Structure formats: structure tokens, C-alpha cells
Structure 1
Amino acid sequence: MMTKPHIIAIPYPAQGHVIPLMELCLCLVKHGCKVTFVNSEFNHKRIIESMSEADDADNVINLVSVPDGLAVEEDRNDLKKLTEALFEVVPGKLEALIHSINESDENRVSCVIADENLGWALELAKKLGLQRVAFWPAAATSLTMMFNVPKLIDDGIVGKNGEILKKQSIKLLPHMPAMNTTDLIWNCFSDPGLQRLVFDLAFKNTESVKAAEWLLCNSSQVMESDVFAFYPNLIPIGPLLANNRLGKTSGHFWREDTDCLKWLDQQPLNSVIYVAFGSFTIFDMAEFQELALGLELTNRPFLWVVRQGFIEEAGNPYPEGFIDRTRNRGRLVEWAPQQKVLAHPSLGCFLSHCGWNSTIEGVSNGLPFLCWPYFADQLFNKSYICDVWKIGLGFDRNENGVIGRQEIENKVEQLFGDENFKARAVDLQAEVLASVKRGGSSYRNFSSFVNWIKAKN
């Protein structure tokens, strides 16, 4: 009997990276591969705790963990510490894990799929003579920003350490949205040491990724056609969403509140504003209160995800009386089953931080967006939503740099008042979903990839 291809998959240890890679692995299992999924011990524990028994029975992936090199009490949002540990401690642990699997399992490891941010894992796979696949969980465009670093240095726009020498609007490719040099991914951190670290990392990973035999991207030809035309080695196989394989999402760090789906059942069609800012965004009290009062002013039903750690300050952050006044039309949850929520017919729009997972989930459900990016590639994803696909609106900040309640109310009214946003969103949805169905571009790319893995086994 032929052994199955045995894949080791290792994500960058953040929620937005774990979920799409796990989604890719679930698709590979369906196509006859064996997958060992390697989380950090810290995240592994969170994922196991947030799973229900039903998830566990469904889970056909072997979930294992390695230490991330940090003590239990250390802050995983401290990117400097986390990155150093990921590059110094984890490589040795991963190599030891691969050796121990190969000693105990006749299904020896044949392939490593690693998040592009963990370039060292591709070099390790090369050293061990394994198949090497890099996975980019975000927009192709944000990766090409990294690929363009040497050119940005040559053009005198960026210094050798990543410092921005010229503040200007640039286009990395003729048909890509323009971006400000101040929005380059590493520049979104205020600490210069961290900027330097992220910049150096981008440089390093761009080199390491040359060791990959495939570079897969969680995007679709129709969403970023110019980028894929310019970078033929970047292969779109997305959007990778549980809905597309008729399964459940795996890899959550928080337990989902599914009761909100019953609440949605009671709301009118296309009426609810869904407000969610992903796993990383942090608000200060002033911003949070303006958002609450803005939602109240709209007089529309809203479902708002307020996860633990979303607000800097402790104590009750809600404006006085807000909970009582909005009780009949507002629903607050700590974490929502987002793909199910976005697919719900009562949803009218998605007020989002524009993280890539949220962006493709909203697009795949034909929803218009209200864009409130927080940092990194979210600023750029917003340009796609508002300027290229024209399926959403951004908010303008006032003279104090805050997005005010009146601005929120106005943009909500503008979005709901113009049916073109919804019409364009539904058109884009149809094209994107066609790309993952049999015969579509992402479907064909994924099939070629699976054939390659099996042929090499």
C-alpha cells in the first residue's frame, strides 16, 4: 500500500495566520494527505480549550506543539521577544519533532508547509531533503511590498534600516492601489527597534522563501489579478474558508458565542451592522466610546464583538446608559462564529479592521464594508475595498485624530443609502466563489499542488 504524503505545517503564532493554514490543511486531508500541525504550546492549549467535543471528532489533523521559547507569563504580543524566540528556539524544536516522527511513524514526513514569516523552516526542510512550501495567509499585494524592499532602497525611498527617507505616494505595480510610504508594513510600529526588527525580518524571509518550491497565497486571481500576472510564482488558492468545503472553522483562540446566531434570526433582512476588529486591535477609551455612541446614533441593529483585551483601560468602558438604551437592538459578544455570522441573511454591512481573513470572508458573502484599519496590511486592504473593488467606505478622523460618532452615523447612512455598494459586492462575491469551485482558477491551482505533493511522495 502506498503511504500517504505526510505534511508538517507550521503557522506564525497569531490567530490570523493559524486559521487559514489550518483551513489549507483540512483541504489537503480531504485529498488523501496526512497532516501534523505544529502550534506553539501556548496557542495549542488555547485552541484545544476553545474546541467543543464535536470539533474534536471532526478534527482529522494531528495537532502537536513545540515550545515558543517564552515563559508562560510572558507577553506574546511583545513582537520583539516573540520573534527572537521563534528564530532562536523553535527551529531546533521543530527539527527534533521531525526526527522523532520519522523514527516512530512509517509515514515519514515528506513535506513542510511553513508560514512565509518563518523562512527558517523552509531552509530547515531543504537541509532535511523535504518538499518545501511557503504559505502567505494575506493579500498577495502585502507580500509584494516585502519583495520590493531592495528596489525601495535603491530608489532612495527607504534607508538600509527601513527608515522612510521620502514621504510620498508610491505604486509598486502599475495597476495596484497607490500607498503612502508611511504605511509600509514595518513602519506601523512606533518603536524604532521594532520597526527595524520587522524590516530585517521581511528582508530575511524574502531570501529564505527562495528555498520554497511552491509559494501559495490565500487570495484569488479575480481579487488581485495584476499582482498575480506580475508574480507568476505566487499561486492563489483562496479564499480558504470553511464554508467553501462545507465544514467548520478550526483554530480559534477564543470560544465562540453561537447564541448570537439565534439573535440574528430575529432581525430583518440586510439590516444588521456587524462590528468586529479581529484578534489584535486595541482601542483606547475615547475611540471605544465614540464607536459605541456612533452605533447608537444609527438606530440600526448591531452585533458587536468586544473580545478580552480589546480596550486599554480596565473597568466598564461603555458610555453611561448605552447598554440600556440599545438593549433592544444591540448584541455584544466576546467572540463570534464569524463566517456563520457573515453568511447570515440579516447582515447589512461589516464594520471591520480590514484584516485579510475578515476581508475575504466579507467578500465571499457579498457584504459592503465600513473600513476602520488598525495597522500593518489593513491600511492597504482598505484601499482595495474602497478604491479598487469599490464595495466600502472608510472613516475620516477629526482634528483630534479620532473617528467621531457623527462620522460613524453619516458613513453608515451613506453605505445603506446607496445600493451600488451592495450590487458591486454581490458581483465580486460571484467571481470569487467561482474561482474556488470546480474549474475555477484557485481550484485548478490547488489541484496541481496536490498532484505535485502526491507525485513526489
Structure 2
Amino acid sequence: MLSNDPTAKPHAVCFPSPAQSHITATLKLVKLLHWKGFHITFVNTEFNHRRMVRAKGGPSFLDSLPLDFQFVTISDGLPPSDVNATQDLEAPCESARNLMRAPFADLIGRLNERAGLDPNFPAISCIVSDCLMTFSTIPVGKKFGVPVINYWPISAAVVMCFLQYPELLEKGFTPPKDASSRSSGYLDTVTDWIPGIKNMRLCDFPTFVRNTPADEVLYDLTIDAIKSGEEAVATVIHTFKALEQDVLNALSSLLRKQVYAIGPFSLLLEQIPEKERRAKNIHGNLWEENIECLQWLELKESGSVLYINFGSIAFLSPEQSTEFAMGIANSDHPFLWIIRPDLVSGDNAILAREFAKKTKGRGFMTEWCPQEEVLNRPSVGGFLTHCGWNSTIESLSAGVPMQCWPCFGDQHTNCRFVCNDWEIGLEINNDVKRDEVERLVREMMGGGEKGKKMKERVAERKKLAEEATALCDSSAKDLDRLVNDTLLK
């Protein structure tokens, strides 16, 4: 047990990438560290902190935080904005790489100064850095003599794919030579050298190998993140050994340092005794959550509701939204659909008269929700998802099969494992059509043989996740090892 003396507490400064999914996952990790006795300083950009405060109904929620848990802000270097919507993806990525180091160094300097003046404020003992913030955290950690933990809020398989980017470049697989090569079987090319992963096609890699303008930015960002992350003292990945054992073994050899597989976070947080959950109600959502949907779910039959959420960054065209809407309407299943204000680009065709008529009385639509609570409601029988890693591991942990429509980034890799390796999901074609959506919803939610087998397999994965997060099993042990062997040195 760590000392109750505030000056003796270890102090972790935690810096997520400025995206909703990264903030959510990083906050869960640091709540686990807080449980283990750490003083926490959580760093948000000013833009995201304003959105978080707005989502909580105002700054008063900060008054309820434990004394040893604080939010602080730094500038992201971008033009000021009060828009309550997702930032353009390229802008915060470029600012993370080029503009945030100096503000982060100033913050660490101020925290050190406060530790020297305030007897109740502990000195910084470590920096827990999102993998995409190591451009700032590694140099600043060196400057102040503070060790940095490199945290990947993605699967071990995706980390392995990122490590292959230099070899893909050397072998001539990326970037594609021209637009025609991207549509002539190029993406079906199978790679056979990736440690811990078999039969990986180029289309299964994170999309940054495809060389659109946005991919180029994120490709360069990833390459730089890999190089800078090599100087961290340890690597944490949000996964568990029974799910990705082969890849984790290979990563430990490649990275030549300890890799800690800690997850699923949501299940580890459930291991905290009720009386010790001082940080239980700290959440980092950037949209206000509608909890009325939970009451609506309670009134539905077990396994009857399709939950639909495309995450915090994906966008739909009006045509795509219409095809999804009519496929869902024609499936005849009750549904809970999360529709961010900025989800549909252009005119929003979702609430067409025909859709409203077909779904009257069996649907609930809202802008945001407490996703983990939704997935764990008995009435939820399937999840139509973009296949981001947070959504994937939360659905697996709840034992809910998935219907996958990956958009970009690591979502295609996650989809490949969900649908092919773990066989707990079905993939929707990128060119979404209502007939396919209807057929796959019926297949996943119905009582057919394929749907039954999927539900059996996801129940098995859920059990493995629960076992990994039990107090004496792999993820719980890796959390303790991270704390005792690395962070408290």
C-alpha cells in the first residue's frame, strides 16, 4: 500500500492525443493508476477541455474531483474555436507533432515549481504519454529527467502493423504508384512476413498505406511516433494476452523492452472495491450523454435491440446515411442509434419520411450515450460499429457481436480480426447498400445458425476478458508490474 502522505505519492502526468477515443481510453488507464495510489494530472487541449466542461453542464463538476486528481490545459497551437464538433483530423495531428512541445514543457515546469512550493503537491514521477504525443513528451521528459511510458490505445495487432511501415516502403508496397494500382488488386496483396500475424492483406492494414492526402499526414505521423516512442521506458497496450498472445510475444522481441498488456480497462475498473472508487464518476466525454436511452433499453426484450454508433470521428454522406437508415428500418428490429450533430456531411437525409414511418415506435435516436452501459444492457443483441478499438474491445467485453463498417485508420485491421480471426462479427461493404445492411442485421440478430455461433464465440471472448482482469490474472498482474517495476523506480 502506498503512503497516505501527499508528498510521498507518485505523480503521473497523463497526456492523451486530442481525440475523443484517445481521451476516453487514457482516462480509464489513469483511473487505474489513481486507484493504485497515484496523484494524477490529466492534460487536455484548451479546445477539448471547453467541450468536456460544456458536456458536463459547466465547470462545477471540477469541484467534485478528488484532491489528488486534476485536469489542466495547454494550447494546441491552432486558431481559437468554440465549435462543439470534432476537429478536422489532420490539424490536431500536425499540431501534436509540431506545436505542443513548448506548451507541454511550460506545463511540466509549472508543476515542478508548484511541487517545490506546496508541501501537499507531489513531484512528478512519470509521464504517461499517448503514442501520438511522444513528439512532445519524450523530449520534455528528457529535459526534466522524468521517465515516459508510451501508451497505445489500440490493439497489439495494429501496433505490429505500424512497425511494418518501413518494410512496406522498402518492399515497394507503399505508397501505391498511382490511383489505378489502388483499384486493380493492389489492396488484396498478401504479406507473409509479419511476426505473430498470418495472411495479412494490404487492405487489412491501417489505411495510412493507401496514400490519399490525409493518409500521407497520418502515415508520417505514425512513422515519427514509432521512432520517438522507442525512447520510452516501457510500452502499454490496451489489450489482454489471451486475445493477442502471438502478436504480444512478437512485439516484446521487436521492441526489446517490456510490453504491458493491460485490458480491457472497463473490466479492470470493475475490480476496484466500491469504497475505493474515488474517481468512478470522472469521464472525458466531449458530448453530453443521454441517459434516458438506458431506461428505454430496460423496456425491451433480451437481445432484441440493435445498437448503432459510428464513433466520434467517422462521417457519413447523405447517401450512406439513407442506405443505413432504410436497411435498419427494413430489418424490423428495435434500435438505438447515436447520431452526432456532425455525423452526416451535407443535408441530413436520415429522418426521411419513409424511415420515420417504418420505424415509428421501435427506435431511439440521440446525439451521445454512455456506451459501456448501453452494451451491457441485456436488451442489446448486436452492435453496428465503425470498429474503432474502444468500441471493439467494449463490445467484446460485454459479449455483444458486431456488424462492422470500418472507415479509416486502424478500423480495417480491427474489422479483419473481429470478422475473420475471432469470428464475432460481420463486415458491411464500404459501398453500403440497404439490402446488405438488412440481411446482415437479420443474420446477426436472428436465431439462425450463423448468428448463434457468433454469439457463442463472443461469449467465449468475454469470458477470456473477464479471466484476464481477475485480480490474479494476466492484465491485473501487468498493471501491478507496470506500477512496481517501472513507475515507482
- Using the size of structure 2 for normalisation, the TM-score is 0.86
Contact 1:353 1:371 in 2 (8 A): yes
1:352-431 → structure 2 map (5 Å cutoff)? 352-396=385-429, 402-415=431-444, 416=446, 417-418=448-449, 419-431=452-464
Shift of 1:174: 5.7
Q: d(CA) in 2 for partners of 1:388 and 1:183?
A: 12
Which residue in 2 is equivalent to 1:68? 76
Matched residue type, 1:109: I
Bigger mean CA offset, 93-102 vs 51-60: 51-60
Residue-by-residue CA offset, 1:327-358 (whole Å, 9 max, x unaligned): 21111111011000000011111111100000
Q: 2:9 aligns with which of 4, 8, 17?
A: 4
Give unpaired runs (5+ residues) of structure 2. Answer: 117-121, 253-257, 273-279
Aligned residue for 1:431, secondary structure, equals helix
| Pair 1:76–1:362, CA change in 2 (3 A) | closer
Shift of 1:451: 1.1
| Pair 1:314–1:160, CA change in 2 (3 A) | closer
Which residue in 1 is equivalent to 2:111? 101
Q: 1:85 aligns with which of 82, 86, 95?
A: 95
Matched residue type, 1:338: Q
Residue-by-residue CA offset, 1:105-149 (whole Å, 9 max, x unaligned): 241112111111112212321232111100000111111112112
Which residue in 2 is equivalent to 1:344? 377
Q: Report the aligned-residue RMSD.
A: 2.5
1:218-229 → structure 2 map (5 Å cutoff)? 218-229=238-249
| Pair 1:173–1:162, CA change in 2 (3 A) | farther
| Pair 1:172–1:305, CA change in 2 (3 A) | farther
Q: d(CA) in 2 for partners of 1:116 and 1:162?
A: 31
Which residue in 1 is equivalent to 2:276? none
Matched residue type, 1:66: I
| Pair 1:186–1:293, CA change in 2 (3 A) | closer
Shift of 1:161: 11
Residue-by-residue CA offset, 1:384-438 (whole Å, 9 max, x unaligned): 11111111111235xxxx3221111111222222311111111110001111111
Q: 1:244 aligns with which of 270, 286, 306?
A: 270
Q: 1:217 aligns with which of 231, 237, 240?
A: 237
Aligned residue for 2:270, secondary structure, equals helix
Aligned residue for 2:315, secondary structure, equals coil
Contact 1:8 1:109 in 2 (8 A): yes
Q: d(CA) in 1 for partners of 2:473 and 2:462?
A: 14
Segments of 4+ moved more than 6 angstroms: 160-165
Contact 2:206 2:410 in 1 (8 A): yes
Shift of 1:234: 2.7
Which residue in 2 is equivalent to 1:141? 157
- Using the size of structure 1 for normalisation, the TM-score is 0.92
| Pair 1:366–1:249, CA change in 2 (3 A) | farther
Shift of 1:272: 0.5
Bigger mean CA offset, 79-88 vs 339-348: 79-88
Bigger mean CA offset, 413-422 vs 26-35: 413-422
Q: 1:40 aligned to 2:45?
A: yes
Q: d(CA) in 2 for partners of 1:288 and 1:315?
A: 8
Aligned residue for 2:417, secondary structure, equals helix
Q: d(CA) in 1 for partners of 2:31 and 2:375?
A: 21
Q: 1:206 aligned to 2:206?
A: no
Shift of 1:217: 0.5
| Aligned length, in residue pairs | 451
Matched residue type, 1:302: F
Shift of 1:88: 2.7
Residue-by-residue CA offset, 1:171-228 (whole Å, 9 max, x unaligned): 4536525443255435377743x33322222221111111101100111111111110
Which residue in 1 is equivalent to 2:142? 126
Give unpaired runs (5+ residues) of structure 1. Answer: none
Matched residue type, 1:426: A
Aligned residue for 1:231, secondary structure, equals helix
Which residue in 1 is equivalent to 2:64? 57
Matched residue type, 1:284: S
Q: 1:197 aligned to 2:205?
A: no
| Pair 1:190–1:150, CA change in 2 (3 A) | closer
Q: 1:152 aligned to 2:157?
A: no
Matched residue type, 2:90: K
Q: d(CA) in 2 for partners of 1:389 and 1:81?
A: 35
Bigger mean CA offset, 118-127 vs 70-79: 70-79
* Identical residues among aligned pairs (%): 29
Contact 2:238 2:263 in 1 (8 A): yes
Contact 2:97 2:221 in 1 (8 A): no
Aligned residue for 1:44, secondary structure, equals helix
Aligned residue for 2:242, secondary structure, equals coil
Which residue in 2 is equivalent to 1:452? 485
Which residue in 1 is equivalent to 2:465? 432
Q: d(CA) in 1 for partners of 2:330 and 2:220?
A: 45
Q: d(CA) in 2 for partners of 1:392 and 1:378?
A: 13
| Pair 1:101–1:160, CA change in 2 (3 A) | farther
| Pair 1:137–1:303, CA change in 2 (3 A) | same
Shift of 1:455: 3.3
